[in-house]
Amino acid sequence: MPGSVVVAGRRYPAMTVATVLLNLIAVAMLSLTLLTWRPDNNPRSALVALIVTAVAGLVWTLARGALLEQRDVAVMVALAFGALAALTWGTERELAAFANGSSVPMLSVFAVWFLAIGLARVIAYVGTAVWGLAIASHADETLLVPAVTVAVQVVVATEVLGRLRARLDQLARTDELTGALNRRGAHALVTQQLTRRARLGTPLTVLALDVDDLRAVNNRDGHPAGDAMLRAIVDHLRSGLRPGDEVGRLGGDEFLVVLPGADHGVGDVVARRLAEGAPASWSVGVAEARADDDPAALLARADARMYERKQARRGLDQA
């Protein structure tokens, strides 16, 4: 659940900020090691190469900014694990070899928090195994127990934090009543899809839905009946969507349907299809993302069109 961080009055993705810090720490630690270098320590050429790599990662992260993706971070973390293994294999000092492994649990935690859990497991466990092989290359039995301790720490940190993150993600992004995305989850999804659109040029369309009869149902039959209707609406919406489409509940009777890869024409077709056999009537606004859209602008345009439809329907009813 990466979220965002405010720095100097501006909001940045937490993953971007953390990756900047990770690269800065790597540059600082490698530079300190280089300044205190001794012949039997980590190879000097490897240290220089790794400093250059960390600086390149820092520059890339700053250049990408909010567009930084998980695959960028995955490559950087994998390179960091490879660097630790290379330094461990190349040093002649057993203490320095083991000290390199002190960063292994930290990298694993970083991967679990910011990457998909499956990808994080692969990187953490493969990276730890490669570092363990580098430790084994020293053929020093005194390093065996400490190395196993590091491996156990990686497994515990990865599995415990991974499950904690999955649970927190679910609680933070899901509407408890209907199981749909809540407002926070829906906005996060739209932000993610807008970023994807900016990178790949694929269309993105959203539907803003406002249910007509919820208040009347609550007043006539009670809130449990209204809650049941809301759950039925979400079930109906999901049954008519493609894999990859998502439903969010933004408020009491307001819903959002996110259609990645769909243009405005497809959105109109989906809106008409979803209205057929629905458990309640609603007004819907369709909006396709534009090049300069942020989530607020896209959703505001969908809302405006939805209210236009609602007013038009009221006019017809009164007529």
Contacts of 231 (CB under 8 A, 6+ apart): 177, 178, 179
Measured at the CA of 122, the angle between CA 120 and CA 124, to 5 degrees, comes to 65
Catalytic residue among 253, 268, 294, 317: 253
Q: What are phi and psi of 78, to 5 degrees?
A: -60, -40
What does the angle CA 242 – CA 244 – CA 250 come to, to the nearest 5 degrees?
Answer: 100
293 flagged as catalytic: no
As a whole number of angstroms, the distance between CA 79 and CA 19 comes to: 13
Choose among 101, 120, 119: nearest CA to 111. Answer: 120
Strands of the chain (E only): list them. Answer: 4-7, 10-13, 204-211, 246-249, 254-260, 282-288
| CA–CA dist 169, 183 (Å, integer) | 13
Alpha helices in the chain (DSSP H): 14-35, 44-64, 70-90, 94-100, 104-114, 117-136, 144-173, 183-200, 214-221, 223-239, 264-275, 295-318
Active site residues: 253
